[in-house]
């Protein structure tokens, strides 16, 4: 049995990089990560914080974990949103998000089980090429229906019909989640308002596959290679993603694979540039006091902090107030890394915690440019019964640019079209 454990530990070790194996031993066990960890804040178990997970992984690699310790470690590894807060505060600078994702991959390869809900989700993504188990043919419907409903200035053209300098990558959630399709519609409208020549892939748009990496699926490199080949083959000057998760996948994860450096911008970067160039007229005042929630995938993972704040600062009439924990220290809403699939209740508590932090600013709305965070924060609002409004950054901008288009109108129009 002990030999089996050692052999299994050896297989896990082989799935990590040698630098990560050094990181396991370099942890000073100081516990700084605990004070900041948004998961530990809601569920104070040693195993769940970075120090506990490093302990568990170290034991697993050595083959010295008992049966009970091993199951505690496995549970806690997947009950982590890989938000990266522990990375920012670690005095040793251990690259924890990368470690958790790689550990999940290594454990999968070594035959350890992952939560059933994540296994199902991963199989679904690979089977349907999206996270919503919907036919690919539906991917571009939002654009067609929005045009038919008069929500756009012009039809959004498909790349296969006529390529453009800019490819707008709407992502699974923007394309297929009825509650979040307004993000794609408003993205398209704002790009049109600024006169950007763009096209979408529509039914040809693949899932970015970043969730496979987040949850440690071993087919990620092959799946990503296919996407890289497809996107490179398009020859777009710029790929714009409105989803923070897709952006991290296309911009961060792909860049670590052969040929994976793509000309990707997040929508907020594009809008920031358009506003600075005077191409996006913000004509209407938006008299709101808002605060800003940094999505982990956009902030800590991609270091995009200033652009969304500059966009908000450009909105006339908007009063901005910063959260106590912002930027690199933003508390995670709990939606990332497959945490919601592994422990939904925990995500709700994390969302609620973030909402309470936002309430403390005195703002009437919390704004974020990530639709996944919108969902996570909305769960927090439900959990707390807070009057705080959760707004996508596109919604705030639309109020300043084209106030006749609201998320509610978009949802109604798309639902009527379906």
Partner 1 sequence: MPGSVAYTKPWAVLWGAATLALVYVVVALALKVRSFARGGALPPAPRPAPGRVAGIWLAEVLLQRQLLQLSPLRWAAHLAIAWGFAGLALLSAAHVALPALASVSLDGGAAAWLLRGEGRAIGKAWGNAWGLVLAAGLVLALLRRLIAPPEKAKEGQGTKEGDLPLVLFLLALTLSGFALEGLRHALEAATPERAAALRPWLTALWTAHGLGGVGLVAWLPRSTLLHALLSPLVIALNARGEHPRRDLYWPKTTRHRAGG
Phi, psi of 290 (to 5 degrees): -125, 155
User: In terms of CB distance, is 28 or 412 closer to partner 1?
Assistant: 28
Q: How far is the CB of 67 from partner 1 (least distance, A)?
A: 23
**Region of 20-28, 111-119, 120-128, 212-220 interacting with partner 1 (CB under 8 A):** 20-28
- In angstroms, the CA 295 to CA 369 distance is 7
Q: How far is the CB of 41 from partner 1 (least distance, A)?
A: 8
133, 179, 230, 324: which one binds partner 1 (CB under 8 A): 324
1, 2, 4, 25: which one binds partner 1 (CB under 8 A): 25
Q: How far is the CB of 250 from partner 1 (least distance, A)?
A: 16
CA-based nearest residue to 146, from 351, 415, 350, 377: 415
**Region of 21-29, 160-168, 266-274, 374-382 interacting with partner 1 (CB under 8 A):** 21-29
The answer to whether the CB of 339 falls within 8 A of the CB of 39 is yes
Which pair of tokens denotes residue 415? 């639902």
51 binds partner 1 (CB under 8 A): yes
SS3 assignment, position 288: coil
User: In terms of CB distance, is 105 or 280 closer to partner 1?
Assistant: 105
Cα-Cα-Cα-Cα dihedral sign, residues 113, 114, 117, 123: negative
303, 316, 317, 416: which one binds partner 1 (CB under 8 A): 303
Distance, C-alpha 288 to centroid of its chain: 26
User: In terms of CB distance, is 112 or 142 closer to partner 1?
Assistant: 112
94 binds partner 1 (CB under 8 A): yes
Strand partners, 290: 320, 365
3, 29, 67, 154: which one binds partner 1 (CB under 8 A): 29
Which pair of tokens denotes residue 392? 């996508």
Interface with partner 1 in residues 234-273 (CB under 8 A):
256
CA-based nearest residue to 296, from 110, 81, 103, 133: 81
Which pair of tokens denotes residue 290? 């808002």
Strand partners, 199: 157, 167
35, 150, 155, 316: which one binds partner 1 (CB under 8 A): 35
Q: How far is the CB of 72 from partner 1 (least distance, A)?
A: 16
Kindly write down the DSSP assignment for every residue of 24-36, as one continuous string: HHH-----HHHHH
First to last CA, the chain: 57
Contact characters 273-302, partner 1, x per CB under 8 A: --------------------------xx--
Q: How far is the CB of 30 from partner 1 (least distance, A)?
A: 6
- In angstroms, the CA 83 to CA 330 distance is 9
User: In terms of CB distance, is 41 or 129 closer to partner 1?
Assistant: 41
Q: How far is the CB of 20 from partner 1 (least distance, A)?
A: 6
- In angstroms, the CA 312 to CA 399 distance is 12
4 binds partner 1 (CB under 8 A): no
Interface with partner 1 in residues 120-139 (CB under 8 A):
none
The answer to whether the CB of 169 falls within 8 A of the CB of 241 is yes
Which residues of this chain interact with partner 1, rule CB under 8 A?
10, 13-23, 25-32, 34-36, 41, 51, 61-62, 87-95, 98, 256, 299-300, 303, 305, 324-329
């Amino acid at each position: 049995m002990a030999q089996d454990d050692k052999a299994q530990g050896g297989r896990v070790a082989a799935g990590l990089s040698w630098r990560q194996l050094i990181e396991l031993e370099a942890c000073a066990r100081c516990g700084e990560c605990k004070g900041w960890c948004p998961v530990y804040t809601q569920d104070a178990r040693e195993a769940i914080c970075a120090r506990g997970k490093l302990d568990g992984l170290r034991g697993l690699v050595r083959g010295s974990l008992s049966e009970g310790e091993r199951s505690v470690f496995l549970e806690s590894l997947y009950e982590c949103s890989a938000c990266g807060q522990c990375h920012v505060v670690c005095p040793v600078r251990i690259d924890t998000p990368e470690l958790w994702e790689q550990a999940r991959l290594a454990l999968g390869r070594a035959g350890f089980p992952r939560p059933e809900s994540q296994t199902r989700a991963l199989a679904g993504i690979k089977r349907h090429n999206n996270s919503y188990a919907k036919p690919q043919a539906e991917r571009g419907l939002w654009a067609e229906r929005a045009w038919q409903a008069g929500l756009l200035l012009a039809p959004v053209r498909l790349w296969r019909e006529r390529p453009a300098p800019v490819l707008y990558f709407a992502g699974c959630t923007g394309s297929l989640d009825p509650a979040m399709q307004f993000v794609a519609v408003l993205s398209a409208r704002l790009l049109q308002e600024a006169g950007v020549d763009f096209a979408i892939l529509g039914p040809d748009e693949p899932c970015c596959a970043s969730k496979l990496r987040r949850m440690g699926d071993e087919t990620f490199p092959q799946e990503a290679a296919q996407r890289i080949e497809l996107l490179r083959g398009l020859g777009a000057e710029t790929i714009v993603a409105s989803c923070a998760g897709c952006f991290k996948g296309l911009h961060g994860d792909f860049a670590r694979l052969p040929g994976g450096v793509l000309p990707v911008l997040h929508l907020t970067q594009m809008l920031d540039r358009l506003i600075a160039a005077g191409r996006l007229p913000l004509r209407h005042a938006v008299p709101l006091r808002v605060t800003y929630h940094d999505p982990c995938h956009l902030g800590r993972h991609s270091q995009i902090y200033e652009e969304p704040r500059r966009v908000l600062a450009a909105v006339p009439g908007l009063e901005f107030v910063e959260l106590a924990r912002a930027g690199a220290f933003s508390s995670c809403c709990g939606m990332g890394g497959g945490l919601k699939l592994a422990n939904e209740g925990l995500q709700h508590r994390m969302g609620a915690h973030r909402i309470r932090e936002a309430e403390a600013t005195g703002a009437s709305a919390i704004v974020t440019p990530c639709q996944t965070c919108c969902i996570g924060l909305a769960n927090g609002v439900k959990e707390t019964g807070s009057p705080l409004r959760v707004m996508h950054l596109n919604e705030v901008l639309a109020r300043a640019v084209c106030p006749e288009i609201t998320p509610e109108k978009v949802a109604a129009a798309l639902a009527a079209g379906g």
